Amino acid sequence: MPRLVTVKIDGIEIRVPSGTSVAAALALAGKQITHRSVTGQQRGPFCGIGVCLACRVTINGQPGCRSCKVSCQEGMEVITDG
């Protein structure tokens, strides 16, 4: 069994296997939307490999992080803009 880590997504704690990407943790928490586009449309992860930046969220206070490229760490705080 992989070790579990706890991350906080929009204030709600969720435990995921270590190695899970932040994008995956968001989806596991039922959040398919990561941000709103410039015209207000809801958007979620798209390219899956860190190129399109559609999965960007705020991680530990830093905005604009690509959630598909970051692994969940114990205690991480993630805020979406959905």
Partner 1 sequence: MAKTILDMDVVIVGAGPAGIAAAVTASRFGLKTALVEDSPGPGGQVWQETPSGRPWSRRWLNRLRACGAQVLGGTTAVCPVDQRTLLVETLDDHHVLAWRHLILATGARELLLPMPGWTVPGVFGAAGLARLAKNGWPVAGKKVVVAGSGPLLLPAALTLKRYGARIALIAEQAPIGRLIGFALACMYLAPAKLLQAWLYGLRLANVRYKMGCWPASVEGDVCLKKVSLVHKGLKIAIDCDILACGFGLVPNLELARLLGCSIQQGVVCVDQWQRTSVPGIYAAGEQTCIAGMEHAILSGRIAALVIAGQYQEARPMLGACSRARRFGHALARAFALRPEVLGLADQETIICRCEDVTAGQLQPYTDWRKARLMKRCGMGPCQGRICGAALSHIKAWPYPTARPPLLPTRIATLIEGTMAVQKAANEAKGDQI
Q: Is 2 near partner 1 (CB under 8 A)?
A: yes
Q: What is the DSSP letter of 14?
A: E
Q: Is 79 near partner 1 (CB under 8 A)?
A: no
- Count of CB atoms situated within 10 Å of the CB of 34: 26
Q: Is 75 near partner 1 (CB under 8 A)?
A: no
Q: How far apart are CA 27 and CA 44, in angstroms?
A: 9
Fill in the per-residue mask, 11 to 40: x = in contact with partner 1 (CB under 8 A), - = not in contact: -----xx-xxx-xxx-xx---xx---xxx-
Beta bridge partners of 71: 21
Helix (H, G, I), strand (E, B) or coil at 18: coil
Give the binding site for partner 1 (CB under 8 A): 2, 16-17, 19-21, 23-25, 27-28, 32-33, 37-39, 41-54, 56, 59-60, 62, 64-65, 68-71
